[in-house]
Structure 1
Amino acid sequence: MQDSTIRPLRGLATAAGAVGARPAGRADTGRAAYAAHGAKSLIAALLAWGGVAPWSPEGRPYLAVATALIMANAPTVYRSVTKAVQNVVARLAGLTLALVTAWLMGSTAGSVAAIAVIAVVVGPRRAVDDRLQVASTAVIALAATTAAPVGGLLIPAVQTLTGAVVGIVVNALVLPPLYLDESDSAVYGLARAMGTLLREMGSGLTERQLAARAHTWLHQARDLEKDLMDAEEQVRQADESLRWNPRCTAHARRKDGTYGEAFRTLRGVFLQVRGIARTLADNAHDDHTDHHLGQQFLDQYAEALRLAGTAVEEFAEPRPVTSSSDTAPRERLRGAIDGTLTWHDTMTDLIGRGTLTKPGAWHIYGSLMTDVERLLLDLDHANTP
């Protein structure tokens, strides 16, 4: 997946502004991606071979070609640069280690043991792959010293460096990868899943199915965390794909193109959705009957949940950049919340005058209302410049 059409979320229309349009053409993106990888691999291999073969021993620049292919097909330009630096540094470290041990101890079993101790034990524990690469490079170089002059070991290092440079240049200039489609889909999917669950809870409360479906809603809410983690990873990869990418020259596009702000908003919404589901599940199976929620409140709260679901889903709907922001679903949600709060104030007044006995579920009313109000606040905050 290389690129897609920029389609800002409705809830971020005011905040993000006109970000610009991604090149159209979602059809056959899988085939296009394979074709792009194939073209980049071919170009990188030919350039590495043509540039290194003339001065390589026996005209065999295999190490340069292999390194160029790896770097040219790195998932992002930023990753190709960082991987190249790590690869070259590890190889140079391994070569240096081999030269030092060969000079001090010769090509013996003791040299191999020394390499293992220094590279694997003494090296940083977190960089396991780098330590292993240093050790393997050092052992190979040590073996090569028995058949070739020590100076000949520099050629593999130069080949690696040349191949890395070729691969980075090809990856950066020939259709550098972007992952905006994946970021879009993950954020849209997360919003739709949460909106659907909110509407299902609202419909269930209206149909008097709180006790029967409360735990199902709670499991669904907890399962949303998988979608949340997937969306976070996709947004992170999309952000990384914009770094050092020649296709993204506008600062605004780098900042807003992956909908990182939208994801952060939805992460807050997720906490409210899970809190609502947990409160309803706990209340449905509370042994204290005086703690059970009254149906008059549930009917009004059901309407608020249905409108909340619509508002969250609408937050994820793609639309053209030039169209005006439609806040009708959010305004209807705000009206439903205001109506429920008015009912809450009326009940409080009646209890204060002694007309009604104080219900044991009063704290649960407060928890549910707080969650839905915070949900609306998160959506409003995302729409504020």
Structure 2
Amino acid sequence: MEWAGWVGEVFRRHAGGPVLAVRRMWRGPGRERDLTVQAGKAALAACLAWAVAGWWLQAPAAFVAPWMAVVLVESTVYRSLAHGLQQVAAIAVGTVVATCVALVLDSTMVAMVVVLPAVLLLAQWQRLGSQGIYAATGALFVLTDGQVSLATSGARIAEAVFGAAVGIAVNALIRPPVYLRDTRAALADAAREAQEILEAVADGLDDGEWDTHAAGEWHECALRLGNLVDQARSAIGWSRESMRGNHRGLGAAGIPRPGEVYDNALAMLDQVAVHLAGVTRTVLEIALHEGEAVRTDPQITRPYADFLRHTARLIGLYGQTRFAQNGTDQAAERALREAVDELRRSLDELHRKLSGTLRDNPDAVATHGALLVQARRLADQLVQD
């Protein structure tokens, strides 16, 4: 029964992701739990809107209310409000234009030919933002209904307003989303990745077991670090937006607001990513163009490896002190200050040893001098924070 085994393997492979997500959601706070809560809130908003518009009031176009409620349980309270206003305006514009044209013309097809190009052009209006397409949606609701009247169109706009109000209220009042945890995690991931890259390069240089392939992998990892920093920058933007109009505020998340500390960390990691890309690119160029004797000379590689290890330790301590879940302790701060002093001493020692070696080996000045320049830039960026 080979096919049964194949089916079972495919099922395990594709079902493993959802099962793991459910476990993470159950285990504690995180992205999976946030998504689950948002899905539940959207369903609740739709049920509330339908209970009032469809069940209690029996409105003629009651489906509009739960539909609006669902789509406006957005990723942030601010976005719910902003998109809600734009979406209601777009639907109102499309509904009014379609109603006026349909009442004048006696053909649904002709009305569509006239109305849809007009409302799709209106959808590009800057004030409607990304919600402009709902102008065409509102027009289609009118034109495909079969019975066009001012009363029905007015009721449809009113139900859209009511549904939007329900969606915004549910999103704002019931556990409004906060992304501070995601911001801290993104910054911590970038710091941890930078530390791991530096340690890998240091180990390779110290052992002498590195070639073009290894240097190329280090450079690719350094370039990916830039993507992690960009993700952290995006997370900070989401965090700030999620705090606008959010009653949960500081206490519910248990994490400091994204302020100057996060801005400084982002600037530092951005510069680290740039300089680390420069370091690994220089190492790769050495592997590509220099001879084996120059590349593995311990007088050059070992001091530089020591400097990179001190740099990696400093970045690791920086991440622990700035992005810790339970705040910063005094011992970690002292260790960070000591690491700064060690990095300065390591840079001075690297400068002394590398300068002496370069005088004895003029052929290595161009490439290894670039390493020294990158090292000084990296150290200057780290010790100024």
Q: If the length of structure 2 is used for normalisation, what is the TM-score?
A: 0.78
- Measured at CA, do residues 237 and 342 of structure 1 come closer, stay the same or move farther in structure 2, by a change above 3 Å? same
CA deviation string 1:65-97 (max 9, x = no partner) = 22223323x111122112212211210111122
The answer to whether the 8 A contact 1:337-1:373 is kept is: yes
Q: Decide which moves more: 106-115 or 192-201.
A: 106-115
Pair 1:239 & 2:240 matched:
yes
Pair 1:185 & 2:195 matched:
no
Pair 1:313 & 2:316 matched:
yes
Q: Partner residue of 2:5? A: none
Pair 1:162 & 2:162 matched:
yes
Residue 28 of structure 1: how far off its partner (Å): 2.6
The structure with the largest helix share of the pair is 2
How far apart, in 2, do the equivalents of 1:284 and 1:65 lie?
Answer: 63
Q: Secondary structure at the match of 2:289?
A: coil
- Measured at CA, do residues 379 and 51 of structure 1 come closer, stay the same or move farther in structure 2, by a change above 3 Å? farther
What code does the residue aligned with 2:167 have?
Answer: G
Q: Partner residue of 1:281? A: 284
> What pairs up with 1:46-125 in 2 under 5 angstroms?
47-49=48-50, 51-53=52-54, 54-57=56-59, 61-72=62-73, 74-121=74-121, 123-124=123-124
Q: Decide which moves more: 35-44 or 260-269.
A: 35-44
How far apart, in 2, do the equivalents of 1:208 and 1:194 lie?
Answer: 21
- Between the two proteins, the alignment pairs up a number of residues equal to 347
The answer to whether the 8 A contact 1:293-1:365 is kept is: no
How far apart, in 2, do the equivalents of 1:88 and 1:283 lie?
Answer: 61
Pair 1:338 & 2:344 matched:
no
Structure 1 unaligned residues grouped into runs of 5+: 1-24
What code does the residue aligned with 2:345 have?
Answer: G
The answer to whether the 8 A contact 1:301-1:340 is kept is: yes
How far apart, in 2, do the equivalents of 1:379 and 1:51 lie?
Answer: 59
The answer to whether the 8 A contact 1:44-1:65 is kept is: yes
> What pairs up with 1:198-213 in 2 under 5 angstroms?
198-211=198-211, 213=214
What code does the residue aligned with 2:233 have?
Answer: E
Q: Which has the higher contact order (CA 8 A, sep 6+)?
A: 1
Residue 182 of structure 1: how far off its partner (Å): 2.1
The answer to whether the 8 A contact 1:64-1:159 is kept is: yes
How far apart, in 1, do the equivalents of 2:271 and 2:79 lie?
Answer: 30
Q: Partner residue of 2:329? A: 323
The answer to whether the 8 A contact 1:48-1:162 is kept is: yes
CA deviation string 1:98-135 (max 9, x = no partner) = 02322443444222111222133565298896454222
What code does the residue aligned with 1:332 have?
Answer: E
- Measured at CA, do residues 365 and 315 of structure 1 come closer, stay the same or move farther in structure 2, by a change above 3 Å? same
Residue 338 of structure 1: how far off its partner (Å): 1.1
- Measured at CA, do residues 62 and 143 of structure 1 come closer, stay the same or move farther in structure 2, by a change above 3 Å? closer
The answer to whether the 8 A contact 1:199-1:307 is kept is: no
The answer to whether the 8 A contact 2:93-2:135 is kept is: yes
- Measured at CA, do residues 295 and 34 of structure 1 come closer, stay the same or move farther in structure 2, by a change above 3 Å? closer
Give the superposed CA RMSD: 3.2
The answer to whether the 8 A contact 2:236-2:258 is kept is: no
Pair 1:147 & 2:153 matched:
no
How far apart, in 1, do the equivalents of 2:243 and 2:103 lie?
Answer: 46
